[in-house]
Chains A and B, each alone.
Chain A
Amino acid sequence: MIEVTINGGRRRVDVEPDTPLLFVLRDTLGMTGTKYGCGIAACGACTVMMDGQAVRSCQLPIDSIGGAKIQTIDAIEEDDVGRRVVEAWVDLQVPQCGYCQSGQVMAATALLKETPQPTDDDIAAAMTNLCRCGTYNMIADAIRKAAG
C-alpha cells in the first residue's frame, strides 16, 4: 500500500511503486478528469499540481510523491486561483474538443500561483501543453483575464 494526499484527502492504493500517478488517478481511483495524451511528458494533458507546481503525472512514479500534496482538476474550483482560471476559461469560451483543457487549466493555475501577473514571456514559458484544436491564443487571453 502506498499513501498519497490528493485534493486534501489521504488515499491508500495497492499498486506497483513505479506506477505513474496518472494511472493511479484514472484507473485505480476512477478520477478521469486528468487525461492521458502521450505518456512521455510531451503533451501536458495529464498535468496536475504537486505542492502548487505543475507536473506531468504520466511521468511521476507514485512512490516518488511522498508527503507532497497533489491537486487535480477534479477539485480545481476549490482552489481560489483555480476557480478564477476556470471562470476565465468559461468567459472566453476557451475549450473546443476540451481534451487538453484539464491540463491547460492546471498549468495556468500553477503559473498564476507562482507569478500572479505573468508577462507574455512568462505565459510562453509556462504554457507548453499541446492543443490539437489550436486554442493557444484563447488560453493566453484567459490567463491574462484571470490575472486581472
Chain B
Amino acid sequence: MDTRSIENGATTLSRRSFLGASAGVFVLGAVLPMRKGFAQAQGAAEGPAAIAAKPGTKVSAFLEIHPDNSIKLLSPFVEGGQGISTGMAQTVGEELDVDPARFVVECAPPGPDYALVNGIRMTGGSYSTRSSYPVMRQLGATARDMFLRAGAARLKVQVEELSTEDGVVIHAASGRKLTYGELAAEAFQLKPAENVPLRDEKSFRYIRKPFPRLDVRDKSTGRARYSIDQHVDGMLFAAVVHAPFFGTEPQSIANEAEAKAMPGVHQVHKLPGAVAVTANSWWRARKAVEALDVTWSEPKPTGLDTIAADFSSDAMLEGLRSNTAKGLSAEEEGDADTAMKNAAKVIEADYHAPYLSHAQMEPPSALAQFAADGSLDVWLPNQMPELFQKVAADTAGLKPEQVRIHSPILGGFFGRHFVYGPANPFPQAILLAKATGRPVKVVWSREEEFLNDALRPLSHTSFRAALDADGNVTAITARTVGEGPLGRYFGVGPVDSSAVEGIVEKPYAIPNRRMEYVKLAHPVNIAFWRSVGHSMNDFFYEGFLDEVALAGGHDPFEYRMKLVEKSQRHKTLLETVAKLSGGWKRGPYEAEGGKRARGVALASPFGSETATIAEVSLDGDGVRVHNLWIAFDPGSIVNPAIVKAQVQSAAALGLSAALVEQVVYGKGVRRDQNYDTYQILTREMMPKVLVEIVESGAPMGGVGEPGLPGVPPAVVNAVAALTGKRVRSLPLANTSLTGA
C-alpha cells in the first residue's frame, strides 16, 4: 500500500520512440555520417544551427574571464578521458594568447551555441576536435581582438600599438598593461569582429605540443568528481533492480513492509521495468531493493522491445547466418558475378562477432532535483546534453528550458552515454525525485549495469573472393546481416553505415566489388561502442583479406602493399608500421620464450587511417600478444601526447574484444553480471604498444576510436601465421588453438 506506482513517463521511455519526437530536430539535413565536412554544416539553413547565431561564434557563451584573470572555458564536449578539455584549452588558448594551464574547462549547459558537430552537439564519433578545431581557433582569435579593442579604448591608443602576452594587453610604448580580467566587462560589450586573422601555424606554442592534460592531478588524488560523486543537501540514494526479462514489468511485491522497515529505508517504488528503494545511503537502498520479493509479468515472445525466456545469442547468431533476404547495396563496383564465374579459384568464409558491454568503470548514475519553481536540475553522464534535456523534460512533464543539465566528467564512456531508453538511469531519478519530493541519486549496481547496458550488436558477414590464375584477387563480395545504432537511433538508412563501415570504403584496388547489407533488428538494446561498426567489421574484412592473400600464394603484408599501390597515404602507413616493428616478418620465428608470429591489418575509421602489426605467441591454449605497433594518420593533430594515449587506450579495448570479451544470452537473460565472469583486458594481457603518428596533411580525422579496429584482425592474422588456424569469430578465448 505504500508502494508508489510511477507510471507516468513509462510510455515516453520506450526505446523505439525516444528519438521519435526529440531527435528529429537533431538529425535534420542528414548530419550523419559527417564525411561531407564541417564547413557545409556551418551554413545550415535549417535545424538548430539556424535558430541562433552561428554556433561557436558567441564569445561569452564559451569564455568567462574573471577580474582575477582566471579563465573558464565552457566546452561543447564532455570529457571522458579522451583529453578533449585540454585540447580545447590549447586551441582556444593559442589564439586568445592565454596559457592553457590557466583554463578551467567545464562541459557547457545545453544551448544552440555549442552545436558544433555538423549542426548538432554530441561527444562521439571521434568528431570533437576535428569538427570544432577551426571554430575554436577563430573564437579565441575573435576574443583576443575584443580585448585588444577594449584595451585601446581604455588606454586611448590605437589597437596597432598594443600586443598581448598570456592574458595581458600591453602597450609597449608606455609600458602600461591591463589583464583580460580587468578588461572583460568592456570587451564583452563589443561586437565581435568578423574574420579576425589567425596566428601563423609556424608560431604555435600550444597547438601540436604535448601539453599536459589539465585534469590529471585531480584524477590522481581522488578530487575529480564524476556523476556518481554528486551530492546535494537532503538527497536520497536509490538502488534499483530491473526486470529479469527485457520488457517485463513489476506486478506485486510480497514483502514490501519488511523492506520498508529495514534501516534507513525511505520508500519502496515501482518503476517502468524495475523496482527501486530510496534510502539514506546507497548501501541500505541496495540491500533493501535486493531483498524485495517481486512478481514480474510473464516474458512476452521476443519482439522489438521484449526478450522471451528462450532467447539466446547463439540462436540470434543463427538467425543472422541463415537469413536469406535480399540485401541492399552498400557498395558496388564493376561486375563481381562475372568475375566469380571466370575465377580460377573462389574462396569463401563467414565471420562473426558477439554482443559487447561497454564495461566502463564508473557505474551509471543520475541525480535529479526539483527546484521550488518546479524546474529541474539533473546531473548525469551524457554525450549529448540537448537530447538528454529533451528526454528529461518529457519524463518530468516540463519544457526543455525548465531543465538544467549538468554534465560531469565521465568515468569512461566508449559510447555508453547516449540516450538508450531503459539503459539510462536518469528517467528513474526524475520519477523518484517526483515521487519523494526530495532530490534523488540513482546508482546502478555493477550487476544491474551488466544486465541492462545497451550492447555493441552481434554481427555476421559472409565473404567470397575470386582469384585469377596468378592468385590475384579480381572480385570480393560481402553480405552483412545485422543492425547498427545509427539506423536505430538516428534513422540512417536504408543502408546503415554503422553496420557496414569497415567492410565498405576499403583502400584496396579490387576491381569488382559487391557489398550488401540486410537489416535484421535485434530485440536487444543496441549501442554505439568505441569505433562502432569498425570494432568488428575491420576484423571481418582484414581477416578475410589475409585468407585471400594466402590463397593466392602471397605474403599478407606484401599483398596489401600491392593493393594500395596507388595510394601514397596507405603505402606510407604500411612502410611506417613495418619500420616501427623492425621490418616486416610474418614468422613463425623463434623468440624468447618460444615461437612467435606477426599479423598486419589496415583500417580507415572516422576519417583517419591506421596500420597495425601484432606479435603473438601461444600461452597454454591461449594467445599472448607481446607487441602492438600502430602507425596512425589522422591528417593533422592538436596534441601528440593525447593522440598517442588515445591510440594506446583504443588498442587496449580492441585487444580486450579480440581476446576475451562477449555478452552471452541464454534462456532470455545475460550470463555475466560482473567483472568476475565478464572478462575485460587485465594488466597481465597488456602488450607493449608503440604508436607512431603520421601527419599526412589530409583533412583532420578522429582520434579517440581509430586505434581500435586494426587490433583484432592483426592479432587474429598473427595467430593464423603462428598456428595455421584461421579464427573467424571473436573472442579468441572461444577457440582452442592447440587442440582439435
Contacts and interface: CB of A to CB of B under 8 A. Distances in A.
Contact of A38 (B674, B681, B686): B674
Contact of A27 (B225, B263, B283, B675): B283
Contact of A124 (B362, B363, B684): B684
A57 to B, nearest CB: 12
Interface string B70-86: 00000000001111000
B649 interface: yes
Interface in A2-36: 15-16, 19-20, 23, 26-28, 30, 32-36
A1 interface: no
B215 interface: yes
Interface string B400-416: 00000000011111100
Contacts, number: 170
A106 to B, nearest CB: 9
A101 B557 CA distance: 39
Contacts of B651: 134
A97 B220 contact: no
Interface residues of B, number: 64
Contact of B222 (A102, A139, A140): A102
Contact of A100 (B284, B361, B445, B653): B361
Contacts of A72: 222
Contacts of B228: 32, 35-36
Given A15-B281, A20-B283, A27-B283, A93 B213 contact: yes
B649 A96 contact: yes
Contacts of B680: 130, 132
Contacts of A93: 212-213, 216, 641, 645
A58 to B, nearest CB: 10
A53 interface: no
Interface in B408-448: 409-414, 443, 445-447
Interface string B638-676: 000100011011011101100000000000000000111
14 contacts: A32-B229, A39-B445, A42-B676, A95-B213, A97-B409, A98-B215, A98-B218, A98-B224, A98-B409, A99-B361, A127-B683, A130-B361, A133-B652, A134-B652
Interface of B: 80-83, 212-213, 215-226, 228-229, 231, 237, 263, 280-284, 359-363, 409-414, 443, 445-447, 641, 645-646, 648-649, 651-653, 655-656, 674-676, 680-684, 686, 688-689
Given A97-B360, A98-B219, A132-B359, 14 more contacts: A23-B282, A26-B229, A34-B222, A35-B362, A36-B443, A38-B446, A42-B674, A72-B222, A86-B221, A95-B220, A124-B683, A132-B414, A133-B649, A134-B653
Q: Which 3 A-B pairs have the closest CB atoms?
A: A33-B222, A134-B652, A98-B219
